[in-house]
Structure 1
Amino acid sequence: MATIEYVLGDITAQEVDVIVNAANSSLLGGGRVDGAIHRRGGPEILAECRRLRAGHYGGGLRTGQAVATTAGRLKARWVVHTVGPVWSDAEDRSQFLEDCHRNSLAVATGLGATSIAFPAISTGIYRWPVDSAARIARKAVRDAEIDLIRFVLFDQATYDAFARP
């Protein structure tokens, strides 16, 4: 059973095997977590993302899917990119958010990773309510077969929501 940690901090500074990127579907970088990972990780990440787009992911990465690249200059070995769902009052998209976590864990396990760091997927520009995202994320990783799962949270309110029992 995995050890689950919650930390307030910068996901790009984590010393883990895998950092999960809350990516946009283009895989070509963006804002917030995605932009920070690409900036700090360097051009190697973008180069691999471009190769993915030129191949199997020509149409981009679908919501809930996950794919790995190098971590470039990050302290991690790999970055697993996943596209979170945009919040909707009219449609339940929680399965997609759960898929982001489960598919990221499956990719990480396939790589032989023993530790992984997640951001609060979809809670930024995609407007997912933090309390709901925290419940979904905790449920999705509960039975993971990886040694360490770390949620790296960017502000105190988000940390409080994830760390709440």
Structure 2
Amino acid sequence: MLCLDAKPNKAHLKLAELERAGKLTAVITQNIDGLHTAAGSKTVYELHGSVHRNYCLKCGKSYSAEDILKSEGVPHCECGGIIKPDVVLYGENLDDRTVTGALSAIERCDTLIIGGTSLTVYPAAGFIRYFNGNNLVLINMSSTPYDNKADLVIHDKVGEVLDKIKVN
């Protein structure tokens, strides 16, 4: 299945609902599928970019994912340059503005909910050290290296856990 065909799940939808209610200030994700935005979240820091954004390496012109799907072979811009997805490939650095925004959101929050990650993939796993708030919540199917530092640890599916939250 193409990730362009994927639909937001319960977790994506609940996070968007929490943001609309003023209870969530930002979503930080390593996923490149754009599902948080599709669910309605407005402040999303996509650390590894998104397949929904593509650009010409030569002139910088933007292209949608649909434009790329229509192309044959390596997609080329009308200027002749190669079109690259706006995703971080192996060996590339994360976008500075995205990292700065994500770290700022973590530093300012009172409660940090981390879900669906083993907290072993760096540099994102190291972002937790910027949290100075009062409540660290970890939701993951398996243990993480930070379980002993969390105020609340739930070993379950993120979508199932978040779906139980009633938003006022």
Give the TM-score range, shorter chain: 0.3 to 0.5
Question: Which structure dedicates a bigger proportion of its chain to helix?
Answer: 1
Give the TM-score normalised by the residue count of structure 2: 0.35
Give the TM-score normalised by the residue count of structure 1: 0.35
- Structure ID, larger Rg: 2
Larger RCO: Structure 1 or Structure 2 (Cα < 8 Å, ≥ 6 residues apart)?
A: 1
